[in-house]
Amino acid sequence: MALPGSVREEVTVAIQRLDGEDGSIRAVTPVGGGCINHGVRVDTVTGRTYFLKWNAAAPSQMFAAEEDGLHALRAAAEAIDETVRPRVPLPLARSADATSTTGGAWLLTEWLPPGPDSGEADKGLGRGLALLHGIGATTPRPLPDTADGIFGWERDNWIGSLPQGNAPTDSWPDFWRDRRILPQLQLARGNGFFRGGLMDRLVDAIPKALETTEEASLLHGDLWSGNSYVTDDGRAALVDPAVYRGDSQVDLAMTELFGGFGASFYRAYDDERPITEEYRSHRRALYQLYYLLVHVNLFGASYEAGCRGAADTVLAAVG
């Protein structure tokens, strides 16, 4: 898809403000990955390179939330040794808070060039992600004094093109039920899915399934293989976050849902931050259920059986 003229004009002005030199765009090259937004590499006439994503239908608040998430992940990663620190692109500029009437909303970040995989990237990302999760609930910045709990985030954001509520609470089971499963389940039921009682039993089982969670980690929030790649220095980059504070194993569950991460990733993670038996028995399925429900709501019935299978796994483990 061609870069809309209004977006090109706005981005050119933004680049000129950033660099103090001609921001004219010389080339725009599509970058593969997500299916919600358009992503391109932008090369300027002065030899600078950036990454740009835009969406003609999205509110600019969606990219404001993503910008916030990138800053949070970068700040957290700064506390990790540079040799295993995941790379996170620096947000540089975005569209104004009012959605453009022509081109849409956009976000400009630094360009982290992709590189060859030496076979060590998965291992490094596994350890780096575990260390990132270990930073805990109070960094990179504390929740505001008005927050009601440690699980959540100070602003809502998006998962794909769907709103993701993050109002904080002290109860992780309540958060997972009320901010994750129920909103997506209600949306799916409004579209004719899940008419039986299976999902009602699943919702009732959430407090028991998650009752031992105490620590809140900063999560990427949408960690499938398309949101991580190997960069030119051999380290993995994390992109497209949907951040909040929660059980660190949510990110693990998403990495396993659609594949793309090697065995060395999980071994390195487990060595640094042991994966619990509860995760293997039922938490993985319960956390994957959220993302499967999102996919039902975005893409339709082909994901319904996966949702039912995940619910069956949880109920078989916890009753």
What percentage of the chain exceeds 90 in pLDDT?
80
> pLDDT tens-digit profile of 172-183?
999 999 999 999
User: Is residue 134 within 8 Å of residue 229, measured between CB atoms?
Assistant: no
Is the model's pLDDT at 86 over the cut of 90?
yes
Is the model's pLDDT at 272 over the cut of 50?
yes
Question: Which pLDDT value is given to residue 141?
Answer: 54
**In terms of Cα–Cα distance, which of 133, 80, 74, 114 is closest to 235?**
114
Is the model's pLDDT at 50 over the cut of 50?
yes
Q: Residue 117 catalytic?
A: no
Which CATH architecture describes the domain 5-110?
2-Layer Sandwich (3.30)
Q: Which residues pair with 42 in a beta bridge?
A: 28, 50
Mean pLDDT, the chain, as a whole number? 92
> pLDDT tens-digit profile of 189-221?
999 999 889 999 999 999 999 998 778 999 999
What residue segments make up the domains of the chain, in order of their start? 5-110, 121-318
Catalytic residue among 43, 122, 222, 247: 222
Fold assignment, 121-318: Aminoglycoside 3'-phosphotransferase; Chain: A, domain 2 (3.90.1200)
Is the model's pLDDT at 104 over the cut of 90?
no
Query: Longest C-alpha distance within the chain, in Å?
Result: 64
User: Is residue 114 within 8 Å of residue 230, measured between CB atoms?
Assistant: yes
> pLDDT tens-digit profile of 111-127?
999 999 878 899 999 99
Any idea which residue has 């505001």 for tokens?
144
Is the model's pLDDT at 147 over the cut of 60?
no
Question: Which pLDDT value is given to residue 1?
Answer: 64
